[in-house]
Amino acid sequence: MNAPVRIDEVVPKARANDTAAPATMVLTVAVRLQPTRQQHRDLERVSEQQRILYNAALEERIECYRKTGKTLNDIAQSKSLTIIRADDPAFAGVQRRIQRATLIRLQRAFQAFFRRAKAGAGAQSGFPRFKGREHWDGFGFDAPLQIAFDGRRLRFAGVHGGIRVSRHDASRLPQPLVAGAGGNWKGIHFKRTRTGWAATFQVEVPIAAGRGGMGRGAVGVDWGTSVLAALSTGQIEDNPRPREAASRELRRRERKLARAQRGSKRRMKARRRKQAVEAAIANRRRNRLDKLSKMLVTNYRTVAIEDIAVKNMMGAERPGEDLPEHVKRRRNREALDAAPYKLRQMLAYKATLNRADLILVDPKNTTHECFWCGLPHFKELADAEHVCTTPGLYFGKRAPRKVNAARVILKRALASAPAPERASKALSGIAKGPDDTAGRGRAGGGKPPNGGSALRRPGNTSGRRKAAADGSRSG
């Protein structure tokens, strides 16, 4: 864990009748813990107890279903918990809120299973599993009421003393949390990591009142595998493919792990070594996406990307493509390396935090459509260049294929956001300029911070319509 504070996930906080901007959003922020030996043992003990509870509750559900055909829920199991706690001092010694959180975790696993089963997945797919030690990562509180945090130390019943939070990580926590203003953190989870213990806070943070970024104008982004991203400005971000870079080392360590005898010390060691490589890969990938998404939302006011469902992103084919198997396989591997879903997620919350707009556009044919003339010019996979072949004004204009796609994406986004002046300004910059060095799509600024989440799909733009129209007049 060399990059301690991570914002993993965002839950934009929706309010009733809310067309204005949500004033806050919930982020998940991780900090490293520095437990004493005693505390380390305490954490392990609480965690292990939760694992046993989870497995027991799972067994109880399965048994109950076998005997009665009925499904238990976490409320019913909470009653059993009361009985266990009365019986067993070890259980009574750990906070009930921790145990409740464990039961809720099982409940969520079942909910996810039922959801998938309904959606038509196989009968057994995703059925909650009994958790072995290697597959249990920690515990949480179902509400952070009985846990105290003064900015340096975390205290709760069942653990001796206060657990120290890494000073460096603590300094990077959102301010109100450090100040102990109360009520702005919603949850906490204690997690065993590769190197020790960490805590992840769910913190409610305010969204900047003005624009966080200094960005102007709009940019289209074509996410890809051969390159990580191409921008409508002509800028190309290459794909470092950390997994590919580390693949030899990874394979070597996987082989070692496979050879080691189950349950042996050597095997445990081999597993740790393999996990270390995987963690390094994940870190490198995340850093890259972090920087890219941050750059986009701070340099531009509007960012447009394709609206591709996660599943399709993972799949190799774009609409309108028919690829041979081996190309699909390679593309899938590369796509995983580019972690598209992560990029989109990061863009979504960073756009919200910085009050930039993220517009999702229809991905159909973005590769083949010509930015200049609007007609499709079909390309082979090998064609790296886009050339306009329609006789007339744009005949012979060329751009890298990805850059053309990014521009088509931008064009669609701006067409969907009815701010005609802004749109034409941004696009004319690209159309008039020399081929691919052109297109610094700068549009007039002065748009007031608009409402709603930053994540938008065309067609749901009523809030933005007004703000954008106001902006283009003043800009």
Kindly tell me which of 151 and 376 has the beta carbon lying closer to Zn ion. 376
For Zn ion, the closer of residues 9 and 383 by Cβ is 383
Whole-number Å distance between alpha carbons of 191 and 139: 7
**CB of 139 vs Zn ion, minimal distance in Å:** 59
Distance of closest approach, residue 435 Cβ to Zn ion, in angstroms: 13
CB of 231 to Zn ion, least distance (A): 20
**Shortest separation between residue 375's beta carbon and Zn ion, angstroms:** 5
- Residue 177 is a binding residue for Zn ion (CB under 5 A): no
Figure out which of the listed residues 84, 373, 431, 469 binds Zn ion, where binding follows CB under 5 A.
Answer: 373
Q: Which is nearer to Zn ion, 32 or 368 (CB)?
A: 368
User: Contact letters (x/-) for Zn ion, 44-73, by CB under 5 A?
Assistant: ------------------------------
Q: How are beta strands 7-12 and 24-34 bridged, if at all?
A: antiparallel
Task: Give least dist CB 474 to Zn ion, A.
Answer: 35
Residue whose CB is less far from Zn ion, 267 or 379: 379
| The one segment of 329-337, 352-360, 386-394, 455-463 that binds Zn ion by CB under 5 A | 386-394
Is-contact 50 102, C-beta < 8 A? yes
C-alpha 302/C-alpha 357 separation (Å) is: 5
Number of residues located near Zn ion, criterion CB under 5 A: 5
**Closer to Zn ion at the Cβ: 350 or 386?**
386
Task: Quote the CA–CA distance of 255 and 281 in Å, as a whole number.
Answer: 18
E strand or H helix at 398, and its extent? Answer: strand 398-400
3-class DSSP assignment, residue 101: helix
Query: Nearest-CB residue to Zn ion?
Result: 370
203 binds Zn ion (CB under 5 A): no
CB atoms under 10 Å from CB of 93, counted, come to 13
Q: Which is nearer to Zn ion, 185 or 371 (CB)?
A: 371
Q: What DSSP string describes 31-90?
A: EEEE--HHHHHHHHHHHHHHHHHHHHHHHHHHHHHHHHS----HHHHHHHHHHHHHH-HH
Q: Which stretch binds Zn ion (CB under 5 A): 170-178, 263-271, 275-283, 367-375?
A: 367-375
Helix (H, G, I), strand (E, B) or coil at 206: strand
Calculate Rg over the CA atoms of the chain. Answer: 26
The least distance separating Zn ion from the CB of residue 370, rounded to whole angstroms, comes to: 3
Q: 373 or 431: whose CB is closer to Zn ion?
A: 373
Stretch of 16-24, 43-51, 73-81, 369-377 contacting Zn ion, by CB under 5 A = 369-377
Nearer to Zn ion (CB atom), residue 76 or residue 387: 387
Closest CB to Zn ion among residues 231, 399: 399
Looking at the Cβ atoms of 151 and 374, the one nearer to Zn ion is 374
Q: Contact, 306 vs 222, CB < 8 A?
A: yes
Around 472, how many Cα atoms within 13 Å sit in the side-chain half-sphere? 17
Of 147 and 370, which has the nearer Cβ to Zn ion?
Answer: 370
Q: At its nearest, how many Å lie between Zn ion and the CB of residue 401?
A: 13
Q: How far apart are CA 415 and CA 95, in angstroms?
A: 55
Q: Per CB under 5 A, does 370 bind Zn ion?
A: yes
Query: Least separation, in Å, of the C-beta of 236 and Zn ion?
Result: 21
Interacting stretch for Zn ion, rule CB under 5 A, among 26-34, 132-140, 262-270, 384-392?
Answer: 384-392
**388-407 positions binding Zn ion, by CB under 5 A:** 388, 390
At its nearest, how many Å lie between Zn ion and the CB of residue 389?
A: 6
CB of 394 to Zn ion, least distance (A): 6
What is the rounded CA–CA span in Å between residue 225 and residue 238?
Answer: 9
Candidates 105-113, 172-180, 320-328, 366-374: pick the segment binding Zn ion (CB under 5 A): 366-374
Tell the smallest beta-carbon distance from residue 308 to Zn ion (Å). Answer: 24
Binding positions for Zn ion, rule: CB under 5 A: 370, 372-373, 388, 390
